[in-house]
C-alpha cells in the first residue's frame, strides 16, 4: 500500500485531485464512492497501478497523472503496458515512455528506418531518441551514434560569438551532452568520442565530408572531376560496379588535406571526409570496418613499426564498357614489352621463350613470326599470290592507328582504348606485359608478388592503372641510370640511357598475372595471389579549395576516387539524431536525409511552432511533412501537450499558446497557423 499510495499518501492526494470521487483507505482495502464514470475510472486506475507495482515499477506523481490522463482520454491503451516498457537502465535509473504517444514513438524507432518526432518542448522527443541510440549501441545493433543540431538559432552568428570554434558551438550542443551523461558513464564518454563511436557536431559539419571540385572520381567512362558530377550520374563502387549518384552538395571553400597510401596512391579531401578503415584490432570486433574522419586519423597513423589504418581496395575489377580493339590485348602487351615499334624495320619481337613467339604469331592476324637470329623474331606479312609487295604490314598499320608507331622503349604506352575497356581486355594487356618484362618474386612465408620494370614513365602509369583497376596494388620505385654498371652486348659495354621504373605488384586471388607456363607455374607454386593491402602513410595539409560532397546509392556507401582509392560518403551502421530540426532549411534537411547509409537509423526531432530561422527562410521540418508523408519506412510521430513530461505548467503554457494561435487565425482568415503551408507554395504573410 505504501508503494501504491506513496509516502505520506502523496500519490493518493494526486488521485483525489484528479478524480471526482471520495476515497477511503482501511488497511489493504480502498473504497471509492461517487459518480459511476468517476468510480469506474478510479477502479481501472488502481488495477493498472497495482499491476505496475507488482512488476517492480516505482510509481511517481508524474506516472500516476499520466495513467489518469490515458484512462480519461479512452485511448484504449493500458498504463501498465505503456509505463512498464524499459528502454535503458543506468546507475539505478530506468528510462521509460510515460505516455501512449511516447510509447508509439519508441516502438516506431524499432520498426522504421526514419522517424520524425514533432511536438512541443518537454515531450521527451530527444531524450527518448537518445536512450534508444545508446541501447542500440550497447546491443551492437549500430557501431556509431551521431548527434547533431543546427548551430545557429535566433539570428545569432557563430563568427560574432567569443571564444574558439568549440566554445562557440558548445552551447548549442550542450543539451545533447547533458542527455548523454544521464545514460552513459561520464568517464567513458571522452574515450567513445575520441574513437569516433559517438560524434556530436553541428549540422553544418555533417556536410564537410567532401573533396575538392577538381578531384577525379572513377566512373564507368573513366575519371571525372567530382565537381562535374550530377544526380543520376554513375560512379564506381568498391565492388567495381557502377553506382548511382543520388545527391550533390556544394560545400564552399574548405581546408583540404592530401591522404597518401604507402603504395603512393593519394587523393585530396576535407578534414571531415569519411574513410572506411580496418585496424589490427578489427578482427576481434563484430564490425571489421571503422568509419573515421580525416582529422580523427591525423597524428595517429602508426603504432610502433606498423601502419594503423588499412584502406579497402576494389573487391572486383572496375567495370568499363567493352569495346572492339584493333589488336588482341595479350599480343599488344607482348609487343609493348619486348617488341620493336620504332618503324625503322619490320615489327619484330625478342624473346627467349618460343612459347611467346608462337602465341604472338597466332594472335596477329595477317603476319607470321619468323626467327631471324638468336632471340629475334620478325613479324612478316603473310603474302598471297597477286598481292602488291609494297602493301603495309598489318602490325604497322595497327600501331599507326594506336599512336604507337615510331615509339621507343622510353616512350611507349598503353592506349586509352585498352585501359578503358572490359576486365578481360585489361588483364590480357597486363599478362602480355608481365610475360615479357615481368616475373614472380618469391619471399619466404609470404604469397608471391610480381615485379615489372620499364624505362617508359607512361608505360609505368599504364601498368599502375591496369593493376589497380583489377583490385591489386603496385609499389613504384626508380632505379637511376646514373652510377649503374653498364651491361655488355657482343663484347662491348652498353650504358643505361634511361632511369628504370620498377613496380612491385600484388594481385588478388583469382587474377592470374601470367600466361607463360614457366612463370605461371612458379607463381602458383609459391601461393599465387592473396590479399593486397593498402595502408595510410601520411596526411598533409594542402591549403583551401572549393569542395563538394556526393551521396551514392551503394550498399557500403563507398566509391573509388583518384588512384582507385576507396573512400566513404555516408553513414552506415549508425544511429543518427537531428535535434531542433525546425531550424533547418529545406536544403539542409534534404542533405541530411540523403546521408543515410545502410544499417542506420535516423530520428529527427523538432517543434514547428518555435522556428528561429531568418525571415524568408522556410523550415525544412515543415516542408518535409508534405514530401515524405506516406513513404514506406518513414514514420511521423506527433506529440501534444498531453505528452509533456516536464512541469505541469509547461503543458498549460503549450495549450494556452495553441488557443491564442487559433483565435488569431479566426480573427485573420488569411493568416496561417504555425506548421501549416499554402498548397500553392506561397509563403505566409
Check whether residue 339 and residue 477 sit in a common domain. Answer: yes
Q: 387 and 462 share a domain?
A: yes
User: Where in the sequence is the domain holding 8, given as residue range(s)?
Assistant: 1-84
> Do residues 235 and 204 share a domain?
no
pLDDT score recorded for residue 162: 54
**Structural domains in the chain (count):** 4
Q: Say if 163 falls within a structural domain.
A: yes
Is residue 172 included in any domain, yes or no? yes
Residues forming beta bridges with residue 237, ordered by sequence position:
559
Residue 224 lies in a domain: yes
CB 6 within 8 Å of CB 30 = no
Kindly state the DSSP code that residue 576 receives in the 8-state scheme: E
Determine the Cα–Cα distance for residues 567 and 563; give it in Å rounded to an integer. 11
* Per-residue pLDDT, 684: 34
C-alpha cell at 188: 567513458
My answer on whether 129 and 52 are in the same domain is: no
Please report the DSSP string for 222-250 in residue order. EEEEGGG--TT-EEEBTTSSEEEEEEEEE
pLDDT at 646: 66
Same domain, 137 and 226: no
Backbone angles phi, psi at 627, to 5 degrees: -85, -45
What pLDDT, on the 0 to 100 scale, is given for residue 152?
Answer: 54
In this prediction, residue 682 carries a pLDDT of 37
Establish if 544 belongs to a structural domain: yes
Same domain, 435 and 510: yes
Tell me the pLDDT tens digit for each residue of 175-206.
Answer: 777 888 888 888 888 878 766 678 777 675 55
Q: Do 242 and 144 share a structural domain? A: no
Verify that 193 and 243 share a domain, yes or no.
no
* 236-258: pLDDT as tens digits: 999 999 998 877 878 888 899 99
Judge whether 680 lies within some domain: no
The confidence score (pLDDT) of residue 281 equals 65
* 329/343 Cα distance (integer angstroms): 20
Cβ atoms of 336 and 414 closer than 8 Å: yes
Within 275-320, residue ranges assigned H as helices are: 294-297
Confirm if 273 and 210 have CB atoms less than 8 A apart. Answer: yes
Domain assignment of residue 95, yes or no: no
Model pTM score: 0.67
10-residue mean pLDDT profile of the chain (685 residues): values are 80 85 85 88 85 78 79 74 73 77 89 93 88 89 83 49 53 76 84 75 64 95 94 92 85 91 94 83 57 85 87 93 94 90 77 86 77 72 58 80 90 95 96 94 79 95 96 93 76 81 92 93 82 92 91 81 86 83 86 75 90 82 91 91 74 78 71 45 35
Angle made by CA atoms 392, 398, 404, in degrees to the nearest 5: 110
Beta strands at 574-578 and 88-90: parallel, antiparallel or unpaired: unpaired
Residue 422 and residue 552 in one domain: no
Same domain, 399 and 380: yes
The Cα 16–Cα 39 span in angstroms is 11
Among 470, 504, 525, where does a domain finish?
Answer: 525
Task: Identify the CATH number of the domain in which residue 419 sits.
Answer: 3.10.28.10
pLDDT of residue 163: 52
What local confidence, expressed as pLDDT, does residue 424 receive? Answer: 96
* Residues 612 and 476 grouped into a single domain: no
Q: Is residue 465 located within the same domain as residue 336? A: yes
In 174-279, at which residue ranges do the beta strands (DSSP E only) sit?
198-202, 211-212, 216-219, 222-225, 234-236, 242-261, 266-270, 274-277
Amino acid at each position: 500500500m505504501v508503494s501504491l499510495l506513496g509516502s505520506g499518501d502523496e500519490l493518493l492526494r494526486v488521485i483525489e485531485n484528479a478524480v471526482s470521487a471520495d476515497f477511503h483507505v482501511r488497511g489493504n482495502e480502498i473504497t471509492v464512492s461517487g459518480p459511476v464514470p468517476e468510480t469506474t475510472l478510479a477502479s481501472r486506475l488502481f488495477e493498472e497501478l497495482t499491476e505496475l507495482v507488482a512488476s517492480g515499477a516505482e510509481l511517481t506523481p508524474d506516472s500516476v497523472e499520466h495513467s489518469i490522463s490515458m484512462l480519461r482520454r479512452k485511448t484504449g491503451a493500458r498504463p501498465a503496458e505503456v509505463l512498464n516498457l524499459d528502454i535503458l537502465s543506468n546507475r539505478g535509473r530506468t528510462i521509460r515512455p510515460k505516455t501512449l504517444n511516447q510509447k508509439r514513438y519508441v516502438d516506431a524507432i524499432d520498426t522504421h528506418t526514419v522517424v520524425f518526432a514533432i511536438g512541443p518542448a518537454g515531450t521527451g522527443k530527444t531524450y527518448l531518441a537518445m536512450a534508444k541510440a545508446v541501447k542500440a549501441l550497447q546491443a551492437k545493433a549500430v557501431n556509431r551514434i551521431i548527434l547533431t543540431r543546427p548551430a545557429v538559432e535566433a539570428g545569432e552568428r557563430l563568427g560574432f560569438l567569443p571564444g574558439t570554434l568549440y566554445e562557440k558551438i558548445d552551447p548549442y550542443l550542450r543539451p545533447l551532452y547533458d542527455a548523454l551523461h544521464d545514460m552513459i558513464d561520464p568517464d567513458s564518454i571522452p574515450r567513445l568520442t575520441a574513437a569516433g563511436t559517438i560524434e556530436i557536431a553541428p549540422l553544418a559539419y555533417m556536410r564537410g565530408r567532401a573533396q575538392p571540385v577538381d578531384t577525379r572520381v572513377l566512373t564507368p567512362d573513366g575519371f571525372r572531376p567530382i565537381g562535374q558530377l550530377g544526380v543520376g550520374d554513375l560512379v564506381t563502387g568498391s565492388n567495381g560496379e557502377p553506382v548511382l549518384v543520388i545527391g550533390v552538395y556544394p560545400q564552399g571553400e574548405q581546408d583540404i588535406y592530401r591522404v597518401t597510401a604507402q603504395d603512393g596512391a593519394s587523393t585530396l579531401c576535407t578534414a571531415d571526409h569519411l574513410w572506411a578503415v580496418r585496424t589490427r584490432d578489427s578482427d576481434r570486433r563484430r564490425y571489421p570496418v571503422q568509419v573515421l574522419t580525416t582529422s580523427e586519423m591525423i597524428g595517429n597513423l602508426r603504432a610502433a613499426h606498423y601502419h594503423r589504418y588499412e584502406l579497402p581496395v576494389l573487391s572486383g575489377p572496375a567495370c568499363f564498357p567493352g569495346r572492339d580493339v584493333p589488336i588482341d590485348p595479350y599480343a599488344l602487351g607482348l609487343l609493348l614489352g619486348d617488341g620493336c615499334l620504332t618503324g625503322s624495320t619490320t615489327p619484330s619481337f625478342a624473346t627467349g621463350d618460343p612459347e611467346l613467339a608462337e602465341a604472338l604469331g597466332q594472335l596477329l592476324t595477317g603476319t607470321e613470326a619468323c626467327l631471324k637470329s638468336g632471340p629475334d623474331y620478325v613479324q612478316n606479312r603473310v603474302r598471297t599470290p597477286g598481292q602488291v609487295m609494297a602493301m603495309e604490314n598489318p602490325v604497322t598499320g595497327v600501331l599507326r592507328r594506336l599512336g604507337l608507331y615510331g615509339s621507343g622503349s622510353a616512350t611507349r604506352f598503353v592506349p586509352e582504348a585498352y585501359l578503358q575497356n572490359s576486365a578481360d581486355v585489361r588483364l590480357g594487356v597486363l599478362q602480355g606485359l608481365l610475360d615479357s618484362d615481368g616475373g614472380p618474386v618469391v619471399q619466404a612465408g609470404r604469397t608471391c608478388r610480381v615485379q615489372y620494370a620499364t624505362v617508359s614513365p607512361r608505360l609505368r602509369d599504364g601498368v599502375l592503372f591496369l593493376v589497380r583497376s583489377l583490385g591489386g596494388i603496385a609499389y613504384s620505385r626508380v632505379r637511376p641510370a646514373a652510377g649503374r654498371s653498364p651491361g655488355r652486348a657482343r663484347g662491348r659495354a652498353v650504358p643505361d640511357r634511361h632511369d628504370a621504373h620498377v613496380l612491385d605488384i600484388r594481385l588478388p586471388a583469382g587474377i592470374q598475372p601470367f600466361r607463360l607456363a614457366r612463370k605461371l607455374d612458379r607463381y602458383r607454386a609459391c601461393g599465387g595471389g592473396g590479399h593486397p593491402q593498402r595502408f595510410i602513410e601520411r596526411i598533409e595539409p594542402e591549403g583551401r579549395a572549393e569542395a563538394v560532397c556526393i551521396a551514392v546509392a551503394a550498399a557500403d556507401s563507398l566509391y573509388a576516387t583518384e588512384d582507385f582509392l576507396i573512400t566513404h560518403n555516408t553513414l552506415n551502421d549508425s544511429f543518427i539524431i537531428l535535434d531542433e530540426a525546425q531550424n533547418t532549411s529545406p536544403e539542409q534537411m534534404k542533405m541530411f536525409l540523403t546521408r543515410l547509409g545502410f544499417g542506420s537509423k535516423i530520428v529527427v526531432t523538432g517543434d514547428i511552432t518555435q522556428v528561429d530561422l531568418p525571415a524568408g527562410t522556410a523550415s525544412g521540418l515543415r516542408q518535409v511533412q508534405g514530401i515524405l508523408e506516406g513513404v514506406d519506412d518513414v514514420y511521423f510521430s506527433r506529440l501534444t501537450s498531453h505528452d509533456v513530461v516536464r512541469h505541469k505548467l509547461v503543458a498549460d503554457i503549450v495549450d494556452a499558446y495553441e488557443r491564442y494561435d487559433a483565435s488569431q487565425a479566426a480573427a485573420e482568415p488569411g493568416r496561417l497557423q504555425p506548421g501549416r503551408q499554402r498548397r500553392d507554395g506561397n509563403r505566409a504573410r
